[in-house]
């Protein structure tokens, strides 16, 4: 069992890491990671550089940790245990609402990570996970009249459009409710199939 000092040290580390993450995300709202220094991150977080280097090797290391955590939570929440079966329109809307809720709950980080200042490699991985989800759910709730290559093209087209729509939604302070946006996305998917 951890003693009181170890528990307090753990809390301090979590607070410090959270402050550093929030600082980097705030700085990335206005410029690329390539133009952000460790000193700027530390100044914004009110943390010494020695403390920063006790946890991270560079600003890129910090960004990578944020991206990995975001991707991991996203995948654990949405993709694992997704049964391969036929889905009703209502189930697809519910899954889409779940995705949008995750995005809304993490809007500050996700909006920044998916912006023009975010890491392109992360954005590709993030988008590719959506394409895989879309293809897997699509082939289990549609007929098989579309060949694999065409389905791939539809998936890419839809996912990039959906990501752009979600980015717009975040930039406009989520002006549509989650159920409204989920229905719109599923409706666009259904129109794409026809």
Q: How far is Cα of residue 51 from the mean position of the Cα atoms in its chain?
A: 28
Which of 27, 83, 16, 23 shows the shortest CA–CA distance to 53?
16
Domains in the chain: ranges and CATH: 4-56 (1.10.10), 66-193 (1.10.357.10)
Q: For tokens 């809307």, name the residue.
A: 93
Q: What are the E-state strand segments in 3-150? A: none
Angle at 32 between CA 48 and CA 29, to 5 degrees: 80
Could you tell me what percent of the chain has a pLDDT over 90? 30
Please compute the mean of the pLDDT values over residues 69-84 and round it to a whole number.
69
Say whether pLDDT at 28 is over 50: yes
pLDDT tens digits, one per residue of 102-158:
888 888 888 888 888 888 888 888 777 777 666 665 554 445 566 777 777 777 888
Average pLDDT, the chain: 81
Total count of residues recorded for the chain = 194
The pTM of this model reads 0.72
Average pLDDT of span 41-45: 97
| pLDDT tens profile 47-60 | 999 999 999 999 99
CA dihedral 171, 174, 178, 180 (to 10 degrees): -100
Residue pair 45/23 in contact (Cβ under 8 Å)? The answer is: yes
Helices (H), 29-88: 38-45, 49-55, 59-78
pLDDT of 39 strictly over 90? yes
Q: Quick one: pLDDT at residue 27?
A: 96
């Amino acid at each position: 069992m951890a003693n009181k000092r170890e528990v307090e040290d753990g809390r301090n580390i979590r607070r410090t890491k959270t402050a550093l993450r929030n600082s980097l995300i705030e700085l990335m709202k206005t410029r690329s990671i390539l133009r952000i220094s460790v000193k700027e991150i530390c100044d914004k977080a009110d943390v010494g550089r020695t403390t920063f280097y006790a946890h991270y090797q560079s600003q890129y290391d910090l960004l990578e940790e944020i991206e990995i955590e975001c991707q991991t939570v996203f995948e654990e929440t949405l993709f694992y245990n997704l049964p391969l079966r036929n889905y009703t329109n209502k189930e697809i809307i519910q899954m889409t609402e779940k995705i949008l809720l995750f995005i809304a709950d993490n809007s500050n980080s996700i909006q920044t990570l998916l912006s023009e200042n975010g890491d392109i490699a992360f954005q590709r991985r993030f988008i590719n996970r959506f394409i895989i989800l879309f293809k897997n759910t699509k082939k289990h709730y549609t007929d098989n009249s579309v060949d694999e290559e065409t389905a791939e093209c539809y998936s890419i087209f839809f996912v990039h459009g959906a990501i752009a729509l979600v980015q717009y939604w975040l930039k406009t302070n989520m002006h549509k409710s989650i159920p409204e946006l989920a229905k719109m996305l599923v409706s666009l998917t259904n129109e794409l199939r026809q």
